[in-house]
Amino acid sequence: MTSSDRVRLPPLTNTTRELYVYSGNQCAFPGCTEVLLKPNGTWNCQAAHIHGVGVGAARGVHSLDDDQLREASNLVLLCPNHHVEIDNKALEGTYTVKYMQEMKANHEERFRTALVSLERIVDSTAEVVVKRPQNLCAMAGFCDNMTVEEKRQNADAAAPFVDALAKQPISLRDVIVLVLVHGRPRSRFGGLRSKAVAAPLARIEAAAQITRHDLMERVKALQDDGLIAIEEDENTWFLVLVDPTARSIGWDLFEEIHNFAGGDRMVIERVVSELDFTALDA
């Protein structure tokens, strides 16, 4: 195919979408403030070619084929007035291929950078501020007849539990809050073992106001980290909180927090949602 045989092919749908996304809804010509899509829903833009289609057109001397001419790299969105200006053959010395490529790159870079920032995946647990307990003496029986050093050791023993909660995104800690608010010690549920807090799955599902699928996805993530279990008792399914440090330190901090809060959501949220364990100190 010779340059005289070139055919002006329309941009592909994905190409048009890419051009508009990185346009910022603004003509790419330097200093132009014309919007491309007007508030009334009408278009005010045209896809201008950097390398021209016709051999006699502005910037028309090149070896690109028809498909290459309609690629996003060869197109830039302009308002009609500036499209006419840059395609004026008499101004080809001003609006060169290099000038057009730089104009496109400079304009789109601002919006590409902004979109990349929006699309970043940020670890919501990375900057969590944890207020660690100093003695846990606000909880009944924790500091009876203890020395200052023993109280300090109590707080240190809780560190793995605190760290385990701090690793969970707030959306997962929300599930723990619901079980602590709506649950009871496991000894209240038939044959289930004692010293754990459990709540009926159906009750948590109703309180969460999310689908069971979404709830169970969160529960599974907590299961994987050993913080919750699902058990059946008398044909009822329960979510059971699991303190991963209970066996090593001799107490279940979920149960202790539950007993200390007495169903007070504000206290539970302060400890679990806000990770302020100083609420447990005297």
In a domain, 156, yes or no: yes
Question: What is the Cα–Cα distance from 249 to 166, expressed in whole angstroms?
Answer: 19
Q: How many CB atoms lie within 10 A of CB 166?
A: 15
In a domain, 132, yes or no: no
Question: What is the Cα–Cα distance from 275 to 277, expressed in whole angstroms?
Answer: 6
The better pLDDT of the pair 275, 123 is held by 275
Q: Tokens 């602590």, residue? A: 180
- Residues 190, 244, single domain; the answer is yes
- Residues 100, 204, single domain; the answer is no
What would the pLDDT profile of 201-213 be if each residue is shown by its tens digit?
Answer: 999 999 988 888 8
- Residues 230, 154, single domain; the answer is yes
- Residues 270, 162, single domain; the answer is yes
Mean residue pLDDT of the chain comes to 89
In a domain, 83, yes or no: yes
- The domain boundary residue, chosen from 100, 119, 138: 119
- Residues 219, 160, single domain; the answer is yes
In a domain, 129, yes or no: no
The sign of the dihedral angle between the CA atoms of 50, 51, 57, 59 is positive
- Residues 170, 274, single domain; the answer is yes
The two three-digit tokens of residue 41, written as one number: 């829903």
- Residues 210, 270, single domain; the answer is yes
- Residues 91, 161, single domain; the answer is no
- Residues 109, 219, single domain; the answer is no
Instruction: Give the model's pLDDT for residue 235.
Output: 87
In a domain, 183, yes or no: yes
> What is the rounded radius of gyration, in angstroms, for the C-alpha atoms of the chain?
32
Three-class DSSP category at 229 = strand
Question: What is the Cα–Cα distance from 185 to 235, expressed in whole angstroms?
Answer: 18
What would the pLDDT profile of 33-78 be if each residue is shown by its tens digit?
Answer: 999 998 888 899 999 999 999 999 999 999 999 999 999 999 999 9
The better pLDDT of the pair 193, 67 is held by 67
pLDDT class for 188, splitting at 50, 70, 90?
very low
Closest to 257 measured CA to CA, from 136, 154, 170, 159: 136
Query: Region 103-109: what's the mean pLDDT?
Result: 94
Query: Region 175-199: what's the mean pLDDT?
Result: 77
Instruction: Give the model's pLDDT for residue 246.
Output: 82
Is pLDDT at 186 greater than 80 in this prediction?
A: no
- Residues 221, 100, single domain; the answer is no
Is pLDDT at 4 greater than 60 in this prediction?
A: no
Instruction: Give the model's pLDDT for residue 117.
Output: 65
In a domain, 136, yes or no: no
- Residues 105, 181, single domain; the answer is no
Percent of the chain with pLDDT over 90: 65
In a domain, 32, yes or no: yes
Question: What is the Cα–Cα distance from 148 to 135, expressed in whole angstroms?
Answer: 8
Total domains in the fold of the chain: 2
- The domain boundary residue, chosen from 119, 136, 171: 119
Is pLDDT at 127 greater than 90 in this prediction?
A: no
Is pLDDT at 5 greater than 80 in this prediction?
A: no
pLDDT class for 110, splitting at 50, 70, 90?
confident
Q: Over the range 57-79, which residues count as b (16 or more CB within 10 Å of their CB) and which as e?
A: bbbbebebeeeebbebebbbbbb
Is pLDDT at 2 greater than 50 in this prediction?
A: no
- Residues 190, 256, single domain; the answer is yes
Is pLDDT at 115 greater than 80 in this prediction?
A: no
Domain that holds residue 63: 3-119
Please tell me the number of Cα atoms within 13 Å of 262 on its side-chain side: 3
- Looking at 49-167, list the stretches that DSSP marks H as alpha helix, in order from N- to C-terminal side: 66-69, 80-86, 97-119, 148-157, 159-166
Percent of the chain with pLDDT over 70: 93
Beta bridge partners of 276: 131
Question: What is the Cα–Cα distance from 48 to 96, expressed in whole angstroms?
Answer: 13
